[in-house]
Amino acid sequence: MDLYYLNALKMAFLFGFSLHNLEEAVWLPKWSKQAGRFHKPVETIPFIFAVVVITMMGYVLTVLDILMADLGTGVNYIYLGFVGMMGLNAIFPHLIATIVIKKYAPGLITGLLLNLPFSVIILLIHLRQGISIHYLLLSIIAISSLVLLSLKYLFRLGGALSNFLKGKP
């Protein structure tokens, strides 16, 4: 595939990913209070802080991949791990939570209609170009794990920011 079109797909993924995160930022904090085991209740400012940091990470990784990553390099696998994580995110927690709770989970529509298709297309193109499926799966697992582990700390930082903005110690 022509690099121009692949980069256009990567930019389209960013657009979809941004809409997905915006949908979550607006509606997920309220939804989380009724989500039971699928999501601990989160406050709006800490959640938005975490979403903004993860969105910025997606932009930085995409730009790095477009500007300096050759196929199969470490940067390329980190980027693809992030893309794969966002594709999986459409299934778990969004789709599964919606089915089990029987109530729409914010991020489901944008996840299924934007993140999942763009992720699958980008990953398939890279697989057809010869990247290792083993390294790809490892990168998806590693990036997904790191992002999940970071959420607790991002929520804490966002909570501290919220307290600061409210004038609380």
Confidence of residue 1 (pLDDT cuts 50, 70, 90): low
20 vs 3, higher pLDDT: 20
Residue 33 banded pLDDT, cuts 50, 70, 90 = very high
Least Cα distance to 27 among 127, 123, 118, 106 occurs for 106
pLDDT band of residue 90 (cuts 50, 70, 90) is very high
Give me the long-range contacts of 105-111 (CB less than 8 A, separation at least 24).
105/31, 105/35, 105/38, 106/23, 106/24, 106/26, 106/27, 106/28, 106/31, 107/20, 107/23, 107/24, 107/28, 109/23, 110/16, 110/19, 110/20, 110/23, 111/20
pLDDT score for 10: 97
What pLDDT is recorded for position 152?
A: 95
pTM of the model: 0.95
pLDDT of the residue at 88 = 98
Share of the chain above pLDDT 70, in %: 99
pLDDT per position as a tens digit, 34-59: 988 778 899 999 999 999 999 999 99
